[in-house]
Chain A
Amino acid sequence: METVLESASRKVVIGPDKPFVIIGERINPTGRKVLAAQLEAGDFTTVEQDAISQVEAGAAMLDVNAGVPGADEAKMLVGLVELVQELTEAPLSVDSAMDSALAAALPVCQGKPLVNSVNGEEERLEKILPLIKERGAAVIGLVFDEAGPSMDPDERFRIAQLIVERAADHGIPQQDVLIDPLAMTVGAEPQAAVVALETIRLVRQELGNNMTIGASNVSFGLPGRKIINYSFLALAMSAGLTSAITNPLVPETPMTLMACDLLLARDEYGMNWIKAHRK
């Protein structure tokens, strides 16, 4: 199964035999107080730098989130999407908890964007899926529902199935649903990564959907976060993960993922690996 995302000029294919796709996570004011203050003041220098440097560092796509509390998120998201599209050719993942912000930003996106995200909650599915269908976009489905995240991989898998079915009801093809198996921090729950990895295996084997994951959560509250993050991604790739929303500016992350591509026969003739080392 292959998931195709597009900008005005570039096509990205996510699939189990394709090189792993990094979706750059940095354009997001959540937990970045300086960036939030800049956005509120209309200063976009950090966003500009983050857009360009993430693509240079190996992000095939960019996540764009404009969630500054109290600000007009819809207006801000539209502005950021327009800005990032001017600066890079990367297809976008439009990221908002507000359906009104997504509805405002989707018409501005060029090509075929990804929407971050729906989950198993009925209300959210009913609000967002029609927007996805209307725009011809792809969507990320987080595997939790009204009850919150389960620590049982079978339950997470059930929600993944539900999201795929509900998307199909709205006429959205299976390949346009990327499942997010949920990375929660192992700092609070020792089983957190194990449950995510088992969910990835189930989705890969039983459903076949492509997947992405907000990977950096896994190390929250721990020392040596970078090593934990890219080690987790290597494990997750081996289990069947096909893309991740993560920070490519940590140089070890894209290098680790590229090495895993090579090792898992996702890098034809090893050319990506060789090219990266000829630079």
Chain B
Amino acid sequence: MSDLLKSLQEAILTIDEETALKVTQELLDSGMEPEEILESGMTEALLELGRRWNCGEAFLPEVVAAAGIFERCSAIVEPALMAKADRKVSDKAIIATVKGDLHDLGKNIVGAMMKTVGLEVHDLGKNVPTEKIIEAVKELQPKLIGLSALLTTTMPEQENVIKALEEAGLRSAVKVMVGGAPVTQEWADRIGADGYAPNAPEAVRVALELTQVAA
């Protein structure tokens, strides 16, 4: 890996925003593909931060700050990404934190990362009532819905959204993926979701898989 990519990762991991933005621009100027900067630099840093978080070596303020830096670095590489021909037709995705749940950090990170792979992301926010999600599906006709729930008490709302989609006759038109700290693959299967991811980079992989199947 190039030393610059490594220093981009390091800058994100140590919450050195100034360096992260500067190095991202330098990498782009050096002619590196924007996908590589995104995947091998920025995303890899968030994955490492996730690993550190899971074993208690990284802390919430660092995750919040790194997610912000990731978004601002994305803004630097985005024009180059969009300029590429294969990115022009983008699939729509709706993301939301379900009703009763006010935790939106994970959902925001997933949204920022989905944008970087060319999905047209419509973020409905947090504490979003099921009816509002159904309305948005009717209006935007997305290929994908991502539902976040961070509480065991709000997880059942993910199931309610899937049921409401069925009742509205929209279930077959859209793929549903679920996530959030207490959510598991088993839960996703139980409620009839199409996909589950334990972290943001994995969520992007699953999102791409699901939108391609739906294509």
Contacts of A67 in B (CB 8 A): 152-153
B102:A149 contact, CB within 8 angstroms? yes
Contacts of B105 in A (CB 8 A): 188
Indicate whether A221 reaches chain B with its CB closer than 8 angstroms. Answer: yes
Least CB distance, B208 to chain A, in whole angstroms = 28
A188:B102 contact, CB within 8 angstroms? no
B187:A69 contact, CB within 8 angstroms? yes
Indicate whether A223 reaches chain B with its CB closer than 8 angstroms. Answer: yes
Indicate whether B170 reaches chain A with its CB closer than 8 angstroms. Answer: no
- Residues 124-163 of A at the B interface (beta carbon under 8 Å): 144, 146, 148-149
Instruction: Please measure, in the bound complex, the distance between the C-alpha atom of A219 and the C-alpha atom of B95, giving whole angstroms.
Output: 28
CB contact under 8 A between A221 and B63, given known A69-B187, A148-B126, A188-B105: yes
Question: Which partner residue on chain A sits nearest B125 by CB separation?
Answer: A148
Contacts of B151 in A (CB 8 A): 30
- Residues 52-67 of B at the A interface (beta carbon under 8 Å): 56, 59-61, 63-64
Instruction: Please measure, in the bound complex, the distance between the C-alpha atom of A149 and the C-alpha atom of B100, giving whole angstroms.
Output: 11
Instruction: Please measure, in the bound complex, the distance between the C-alpha atom of A97 and the C-alpha atom of B63, giving whole angstroms.
Output: 29
A187:B152 contact, CB within 8 angstroms? no
B60:A148 contact, CB within 8 angstroms? no
CB contact under 8 A between A223 and B126, given known A36-B152, A69-B156: no
A29:B59 contact, CB within 8 angstroms? no
A222:B59 contact, CB within 8 angstroms? yes
B64:A68 contact, CB within 8 angstroms? no
Indicate whether B155 reaches chain A with its CB closer than 8 angstroms. Answer: yes
- Total interface residues on A, CB under 8 Å, equals 20
Question: Which partner residue on chain B sits nearest A147 by CB separation?
Answer: B127
Indicate whether B84 reaches chain A with its CB closer than 8 angstroms. Answer: no
Instruction: Please measure, in the bound complex, the distance between the C-alpha atom of A167 and the C-alpha atom of B75, giving whole angstroms.
Output: 49
Least CB distance, B172 to chain A, in whole angstroms = 25
Question: Which partner residue on chain B sits nearest A184 by CB separation?
Answer: B102
Question: Which partner residue on chain A sits nearest B191 by CB separation?
Answer: A70
Instruction: Please measure, in the bound complex, the distance between the C-alpha atom of A223 and the C-alpha atom of B61, giving whole angstroms.
Output: 11
A223:B64 contact, CB within 8 angstroms? no
B153:A30 contact, CB within 8 angstroms? yes
Q: Do most interface residues of chain A lie in helix, strand or loop, or is the interface mixed?
A: loop
B59:A69 contact, CB within 8 angstroms? no
Question: Which partner residue on chain B sits nearest A121 by CB separation?
Answer: B100
Instruction: Please measure, in the bound complex, the distance between the C-alpha atom of A67 and the C-alpha atom of B151, giving whole angstroms.
Output: 10
B153's partner among A97, A187, A188 (CB-CB below 8 A) is: A97
A188:B64 contact, CB within 8 angstroms? yes
Indicate whether A185 reaches chain B with its CB closer than 8 angstroms. Answer: yes
Quick one: which of A29, A67, A149, A221 has the most chain B CB within 10 A?
A221
Least CB distance, B53 to chain A, in whole angstroms = 8
Indicate whether B192 reaches chain A with its CB closer than 8 angstroms. Answer: no
B127:A187 contact, CB within 8 angstroms? no
Other A-B contacts than A69-B187, A97-B100, A188-B105, 7 sampled, CB-CB below 8 A, are A29-B152, A70-B190, A149-B102, A187-B64, A188-B60, A220-B60, A221-B59
27 A-B pairs, CB-CB below 8 angstroms? A29-B152, A30-B152, A31-B181, A31-B182, A68-B152, A69-B152, A69-B156, A69-B187, A70-B187, A70-B190, A97-B100, A97-B153, A148-B102, A149-B102, A185-B60, A187-B59, A188-B61, A188-B105, A220-B60, A221-B59, A221-B60, A221-B61, A221-B63, A222-B60, A222-B61, A223-B56, A223-B59
Taking Cβ atoms with an 8 Å cutoff, the residues of B that contact A are 56, 59-61, 63-64, 100, 102, 105, 126-127, 151-153, 155-156, 181-182, 187, 190
- Give 3 closest A-B pairs by Cβ, nearest first: A221-B60, A187-B60, A97-B153
